[in-house]
Structure 1
Amino acid sequence: MKQVHGITRECFERDVVPAYEPVVMRGAVGHWPLVAQGRAGLEPCLQYLLGFDGGQPVDAVLAKPEPTRAFSYRPGLDGFNFMRDKRPFGALFEQLWRYSHFPEPPSLAVQSALVSEALPGLAQTNALPLLDTAVPPRIWIGNRATVPAHFDDSHNIACVAAGRRRFTLLPPQCAPLLYLGPPDHAPTPAPMSIVPDLHRADPAQFPLVSEALARAVVAELEPGDAIYIPPLWFHQVEALAPHLNILMNYWWRPLAAPGRPDDLHLAALRLAMLALRHLPDGEREGWQALFGHYVFGARGEGLAHIPPAQRHLFGAIDAERDAALRRELIGMLTQT
Structure 2
Amino acid sequence: MSGRVEVAGNIRVIEDCLPDALPLDELLASGQPAVLKGIARGWGLVQGGLESMQTAMAYLRGFYNGRPVQYSYGGPEVAGRPFYNDDFTDLNCEVRRGGLDQVLDEIAAHAGDAHPPTYYMASLPIDGCLPGFRAANDLDFAAHGVQAPPSIWIGNRVTASCHYDAPDNIACCTVGRRRFTLFPPEQIANLYPGPLEPTPGGQAVSVVDFAAPDFERYPRFREALACGQSALLEPGDAVFIPSMWWHHVQALDAFNVLVNYWWSSSPAYIPTPMHAVYHALWTIRDRPEREKQAWRNVFEHYVFGPGERAGEHLPEAARNVLGPMDETLARQIRAMLIGKLNR
Report if TM-score (shorter chain) is over 0.5.
yes
Name the structure 1 match of 2:240. Answer: 228
Name the structure 2 match of 1:140. Answer: 153
Measured against aligned partners, the alpha-carbon deviations of 1:19-45 in whole angstroms (never above 9, x if no partner) come to 211111111111210110111111111
Name the structure 2 match of 1:330. Answer: 338
Deviation of 1:171 after TM superposition, in Å, equals 0.8
CA contact (8 A) 1:158 1:227 kept: yes
Name the structure 1 match of 2:3. Answer: none
| Alignment coverage as a number of residue pairs | 330
Deviation of 1:124 after TM superposition, in Å, equals 2.8
Q: Would you say 1:208 and 2:258 are equivalent positions?
A: no
Q: Which of residues 50, 58, 64 in structure 2 aligns to 1:39?
A: 50
Distance verdict in 2 for CA 1:148–1:56, change over 3 Å: same
Deviation of 1:255 after TM superposition, in Å, equals 4.1
Deviation of 1:78 after TM superposition, in Å, equals 1.6
Distance 2:307 2:266 in 1: 20
Name the structure 2 match of 1:128. Answer: 139
Name the structure 2 match of 1:158. Answer: 171
Percentage of pairs with the same residue: 32
CA contact (8 A) 2:163 2:206 kept: yes
Measured against aligned partners, the alpha-carbon deviations of 1:38-75 in whole angstroms (never above 9, x if no partner) come to 11111111011101111111111122345863111112
CA contact (8 A) 1:253 1:261 kept: no
Measured against aligned partners, the alpha-carbon deviations of 1:228-279 in whole angstroms (never above 9, x if no partner) come to 11111111111011x11100011111343xxx44432222222221222332
Distance verdict in 2 for CA 1:302–1:332, change over 3 Å: closer
CA contact (8 A) 1:38 1:45 kept: yes
Deviation of 1:105 after TM superposition, in Å, equals 1.1
Q: Would you say 1:251 and 2:262 are equivalent positions?
A: yes
Distance verdict in 2 for CA 1:124–1:273, change over 3 Å: farther
Name the structure 2 match of 1:283. Answer: 291
Distance 1:74 1:189 in 2: 16
Distance 1:274 1:301 in 2: 27
Name the structure 2 match of 1:313. Answer: 321
SS at match of 2:258: strand
Measured against aligned partners, the alpha-carbon deviations of 1:151-209 in whole angstroms (never above 9, x if no partner) come to 111111100100011111111100111111122321221121122x3352111221111
Distance 1:271 1:30 in 2: 45
Q: Which amino acid aligns with 2:33?
A: P
Distance 1:246 1:11 in 2: 21
SS at match of 1:113: strand
Q: Which of residues 111, 114, 120 in structure 2 aligns to 1:109?
A: 120
SS at match of 1:29: coil
Q: Would you say 1:56 and 2:64 are equivalent positions?
A: no
Q: Would you say 1:295 and 2:306 are equivalent positions?
A: no
Deviation of 1:310 after TM superposition, in Å, equals 4.8
Distance verdict in 2 for CA 1:302–1:317, change over 3 Å: closer
